[in-house]
Structure 1
């Protein structure tokens, strides 16, 4: 199976006054197309920083990141943004819906950023799949947290991304709502065959994925397969 994501000796450092802080230290791994992987570890271990590097939201201080056959650290910011729009989907802990747009309009945003007109029926179909077929004209303020995250899931899948990055997708939800969102996320992921990389503190959620990568102190502490 072909690789969709590869990191080779990736480190990330930040300047803090006269000090230099190493957030990630010499991380290497690969992810194959269609696989799912969780990134876990204590707060401050570098999980979200690593996810951002994988998605091309930032570039490493050293090492290489290759996504969908494209070396991200060789691209400028505009080219990385174009690459994300073509190949990547995102789900965030705080939903990141635009408050002035309806659920339907929020789901269609990625297509509009590509310059693609239409897509209304596809967006409606995705909203129906996540159980919000009758809420398409509602604004985020009229939706519960769980409903907003379901809109975000529909938005993430509308471009049929090659890889989906999820940062604490159930972190702001109660246990029952989190289970509903988890079931929807993995159902849509199986149906689409999308590669999934997610950051989570929730080990129960992590065990839904094929593989768990554990960070400690910015280093790769463990990389193990889950028992299905």
Structure 2
């Protein structure tokens, strides 16, 4: 049923046709955007799954080494050994655009270039298991940051997909059908008015002929 507020005029008909054309084109573009976002989102989800499994496995291994170190060293020596970290990591957060979604890009650099410069203690009173644990945790950091970047990207893309899906549905099931109904209603009204006008003109013609010549046009 057409909206009660629609004005059945040719000007309104032209306006609605232009609006329908724009809405139809926008609907197609939004569907394409949604499909491409879904493709990129699924690719990110697969990457995220691999990264998470890798990080969890490395953390599990590091924790195992740390448990062995805790068992072979006194609590006081262990606390002193890990009290003050030697290496420092600087995080630079940038961004990139993916289908109008601004997703983060994490870049890091360390205080020193040497990747082994992570031991803040001497080796005289510490165990090899502690060395392995510290090194494992140091090696995890790039993958951990990559995982954080990937998970945040998935979250942002999922939110954009949901918004795009709602817009597509609004256009497809509400706005476009309503405009089509209004256009159909205006066309019917204009046709009805045109028929009424023709009938009135024919009656006027008959009345004029009858008045002038005293007969009806056959």
User: TM-score, structure 1 length as denominator?
Assistant: 0.17
- Which of the two has greater strand per residue? 1
- Which of the two has greater helix per residue? 2
Work out which of the two has the higher radius of gyration on C-alpha atoms and give 1 or 2: 2
User: TM-score, structure 2 length as denominator?
Assistant: 0.17
Larger RCO: 1 or 2 (CA < 8 Å, sep 6+): 2
